[in-house]
Structure 1
Amino acid sequence: MRQELTLRGNHALLTRANPLSKFAAVVFITLALALSIDWVSASVALALVLALLPLAGLRPGLLWLRGWPLITAAALGGWSTTILAPDSGRILLDARIWSISDGSLELGVGFMVRGLAIALPAVLLMSCTDPTDLADALAQNAKLPHRFVLGTLAAMRLVGLMAEEWHTIGMARRARGVGSHGNPLQRLRATLGQSFGLLVQAVRRASRLAVTMEARGFGDAPRTWARKSTFSALDVWVVLGGLLIAGSAVAASLAAGTWNMVFLARQ
């Protein structure tokens, strides 16, 4: 509900585009970045995506609040790749159990930047898209089944409750003596168990809400729409923008000679 009120007060350009056009733009960017693991294409795509923040009405601080788990995961993934990748080129650091070379560092930086470049467009999409508008577009334009659409809408509406659910599950587990003591490995296992419990609870709640909405007539056909989901000239520019970002990233990588196809990376 808080996200919906924020979006209603947000009059940025991208909030007025059809959700499906924004989704198509994100898919184009993701496909381009999934083909290569070099740092040039990822850096170009990341810089262009960050330049779009004002068009979505987002500030860097708000982007961090909404995407910090993905940003942290990308940083950890880049570090793991750096120390675990095979050495190639000059050795920069040798800690006996692991080492960092020119090749492994370049691979790790490319992995981290690529992870950010893939994750941030999705965060940008969800930050400037109203859940009801997305459900209308999926049902009216994409012609998806009502149960899937209602399940998606219910899940997005319930995202705001996940923090509260996490706190509740944690209190219940600590009341049983789980996760409140032990060594770091035991605490990590307890956190993973709590995360799985949160996932199960979210799926159950969304499924129950979707079935309830369908039972009350939300899924009957034919039906009318309070808001018509349409496409405009803005959506054409949004899709072209996604293609431009993807094409610019690939072109910059090819021009720099750093293009490294995923399935040829070991060669």
Structure 2
Amino acid sequence: MTAVAERTADRRRTTPLERTNPVVRLLASLAFAVVLVLSVDVVSAGVALVLGGVLLLAAGAGGRRLALRMLPVVVAAPLAALTIALYGQESGRVLLAWGFVRVSDGSLALAAATLLRILAIGVCGIGLLGGIDATRLADGLAQLLRLPARFVLGALAAFRLFGLLGEDWRALGLARRARGIADDKRLRRLAGQAFGLLVLAVRRGGALATAMEARGFDGPGGRTWARPSRLGGADAVLVLATALVLAAAVGAALAAGTWNPVSGG
């Protein structure tokens, strides 16, 4: 049964990115974040943004889905860059001076680098982590990275129940409105409803913990897994492509002389 289920799931994963192990995708996104944080320069962030975006599109991330998931980052990145441009470290020519606002060549360059770095980290991170199946990720974390099964399964259960919070919030709102206690004093109503949601979540968590303990989730001895987590050729390709993109980004910055380590200011 397990083998048949695995083959059926593999056929459903049509894109190369979906066929990779979620753990490899998680580690690849962390690698992008770490390397891009090491330096604040336009070249490395720009190269990582372009090559990383091309890699994700070629792997089947989906341009429309990626664009929709990137909307919060696209909104936040210019705001962060604007703050850096207005209040960042001053160097070079001063283009605008007004109170605490001092826009210079250095602050503009730093703002552009910050903008590209946020976009690059967002594109690579969201593109790699978007659409990951939580169950497959938990299987990989426990089997490949050898994380404690109790922690992994507890986190998976919490993630599965997270989607119920919205439904509970709506149900609480309707119940309070039916009882006539949701017509005035909006702030007080929201505080009371939030407390009710907290109580409901704690009760559900306790019931879930009891059910998991009754089913032997915390039992002694070795644990078996219904879905084995393995690494394949798609994972090797993703690791190699990530290494090449990051090497190209760092190499281009070093060749252009723009590599600016964070520790060196």
Short-chain TM bin: 0.7 to 0.9
Query: Cα offset for 1:100?
Result: 1.9
Q: 3-state DSSP class of the match of 2:229? A: coil
The 8 Å contact of residues 213 and 219 in structure 1, kept in 2 or not, is answered as no
TM-score, length basis structure 1: 0.75
Alignment of 1:19-58 (within 5 A): 19-58=22-61
The 8 Å contact of residues 36 and 44 in structure 2, kept in 1 or not, is answered as yes
Q: Residue 209 of structure 2: which of 208, 211, 230 is its match?
A: 211
Q: Residue 120 of structure 2: which of 117, 120, 123 is its match?
A: 117
> Any stretches of 5+ residues in structure 2 without a counterpart?
1-9, 177-181
The 8 Å contact of residues 21 and 239 in structure 1, kept in 2 or not, is answered as yes
The 8 Å contact of residues 37 and 111 in structure 1, kept in 2 or not, is answered as yes
Query: Cα offset for 1:149?
Result: 0.7
TM-score, length basis structure 2: 0.76
Q: 3-state DSSP class of the match of 1:157? A: helix
Alignment of 1:188-227 (within 5 A): 211-212=209-210, 214-215=212-213, 216-220=215-219, 221-227=221-227
Looking at CA atoms only, which structure, 1 or 2, has the larger radius of gyration?
Answer: 2
- The two structures, once aligned, show a CA RMSD in angstroms of 3.6
The 8 Å contact of residues 26 and 129 in structure 2, kept in 1 or not, is answered as no
> CA, structure 1 residues 178+91, in 2 after alignment: closer, same or farther (shift >3 Å)?
same
> CA, structure 1 residues 209+97, in 2 after alignment: closer, same or farther (shift >3 Å)?
farther
The 8 Å contact of residues 90 and 107 in structure 2, kept in 1 or not, is answered as yes
What residue is the counterpart of 1:231 in the other structure?
231
The 8 Å contact of residues 32 and 125 in structure 2, kept in 1 or not, is answered as no
Q: 3-state DSSP class of the match of 1:16? A: coil
> Any stretches of 5+ residues in structure 1 without a counterpart?
1-6, 181-189
2:261 alignment partner AA: M
> CA, structure 1 residues 24+212, in 2 after alignment: closer, same or farther (shift >3 Å)?
same
**Distance (whole Å) between structure 2 residues aligned to residue 84 and residue 206 of structure 1:** 47
Query: Cα offset for 1:95?
Result: 4.4
Count of residue correspondences? 245
Calculate percent identity across the aligned residue pairs: 39
What residue is the counterpart of 1:247 in the other structure?
247
Query: Cα offset for 1:207?
Result: 5.9
Query: Cα offset for 1:155?
Result: 4.0
**Higher mean C-alpha deviation, range 143-152 or range 40-49:** 143-152
